[in-house]
Structure 1
Amino acid sequence: MTRIVVVDNHGQFTHLEHRALRDLGVDTEIVDNDTPPERVDADGVVLSGGPDMDRIGRSADYLDLDVPVLGICLGMQLIAAELGGRVDSGDYGGYADVTVEIEDEDDPLVGSLAPETRVWASHADEVKDLPEGFVRTAKSDICGIEAMSDTDCDLYGVQWHPEVAHTEEGEAVFENFLAICDAAE
C-alpha cells in the first residue's frame, strides 16, 4: 500500500489533507515539520499549507527524499523558494473562490482538471518566478502561477487548497498525486 506523509506546517487545513488521503485508502499520517526526513518512511510527501515561511521547520529537507512531493499553498511557495524561484506578496491578498485555467492537459497532477476548475485559494503570498526545471501548469486572473510542476524530479505545487469543500475537483488532485507516487515506486 502506498504511504504518503503530510508534513504539518501549522496550516488550518492540514487535518483535511490527511483525511482526503485516508479517504482514498492511502496509508497516511501527519508528521510535525521538525521531524527529520530520515525518520519517515514514505512513498510520497505532501507539504501542507501554513501561516508563514518562518514556521516551516525542516520541510525543505523533504525535497531530498527522492519521492514525489506535492506542495499546497505555503508548501508550493517553500518548494519554489528553496529551489531558486521567487515568492512575494500577492496583489489580491486573502482567500477567494477562483477560476483556475489549466495550461498543460498532459500534466500528471492537474492536467485532468482542464480546461478550468473552481478552487479555494489564499493569495497573501504567491510564487512570482518559477525555479529552474519547473513549468507553470495553471494560472488565474489574480495569480500568474496557480500551479507548477517539475515532472523530471516529481515535484509539484498548487496555490489552492484541494482538501477543502469549496474546491471543485480537489479529490482528483489527490488521486493524481497518488498515481504519481504509485508510478514512482
Structure 2
Amino acid sequence: MTTIVVVDNHGQFTHLEQRSLRDLGVDAHLVDNETPPEDLEVDPDGIVLSGGPDMDRIGESPAYLEVDVPVLGICLGMQLIADQLGGTVGSGDYGGYADVTVEIVDSDDPLTGSLAPETRVWASHADEVKTLPEGFELTARSDVCGVEAMSDTDRDLYGVQWHPEVAHTEEGEAIFENFLEICEA
C-alpha cells in the first residue's frame, strides 16, 4: 500500500486532504508541521504540504523538500515550495476564496495534464506565487492568478494554488489520483 504523509500547515481543509487520499486506498498520515522528517514513524512514498494561514507558521515544512520522494504543495504548500527554491510569493490581486476557472497550459504534465483544457476550482488568492523557481514549468493559470499550478518533474515537486480536497473543485480527486500515480512510479 502506498504511504503518503500530509504535513499540516494549519489549514482549514487539511483533514480533507488526508481523507481524500484514504478514499483512494492510500495509507495517509497527518503530521504537524513541527515534526521534522527524520521523526516520521513511517517511510513515505510521497508528501503533501497542506495549505495554511501564512508563511510564518510553516514549521519544519521546508525540510520535507529534501526527502527523496514526490511532493505536492497545496495553496500555502505550493507557495512554500516556490519561496524555498528561489521563486517569489506575494499578495494576490483578488484576495479571498472564490470559484475560479483554471486553464491547463501543459496537457503533458503528470499532475494537472489530465484536467486539460480547463477546470473549475476553489482557490484562495490572498497570497500566490509570482515567479517560478528555477526548474519549474507553469502548468496552469487563470484570469485572477498567473501561476495556478507548477511542476518540476525532474525533482518530482508539484504545486497547485487551488484546493483539490474540497467539493467545490470539479476534478479534485483527479489531482490526488495523478499524484498517487507519480508516487507509485
Q: TM-score range by the shorter chain?
A: over 0.9
2:24 maps to 24
2:28 and 2:142 mapped to 1: Cα distance?
31
2:148 and 2:99 mapped to 1: Cα distance?
13
Give the drift of 1:39. 2.1
1:143-176 alpha-carbon deviations (Å, 9 max, x no partner):
0000000000000000000000000000000000
Where structure 2 has 5 or more consecutive residues not aligned to the other structure, the ranges are none
1:36 and 1:56 mapped to 2: Cα distance?
12
> Structure 1 residue runs of 4+, over 2 Å off?
none
Q: 1:19-98 maps to which residues of 2 (within 5 A)?
A: 19-40=19-40, 41-98=43-100
**2:113 equivalent to 1:116:** no
Q: Give the letter aligned to residue 27 of structure 1.
A: D
The TM-score, its normalising length taken from structure 1, stands at: 0.98
Q: Give the letter aligned to residue 35 of structure 2.
A: T
1:105 and 1:140 mapped to 2: Cα distance?
15
Q: Give the letter aligned to residue 17 of structure 2.
A: E
1:91-116 alpha-carbon deviations (Å, 9 max, x no partner):
00000000000000100000000000
> What percent of counterpart residues are identical?
82
Give the drift of 1:17. 0.2
1:123 and 1:63 mapped to 2: Cα distance?
23
2:146 maps to 144
The TM-score, its normalising length taken from structure 2, stands at: 0.98
Where structure 1 has 5 or more consecutive residues not aligned to the other structure, the ranges are none
Give the drift of 1:18. 0.3
Give the drift of 1:36. 1.0
Aligned alpha-carbon RMSD (Å): 0.4
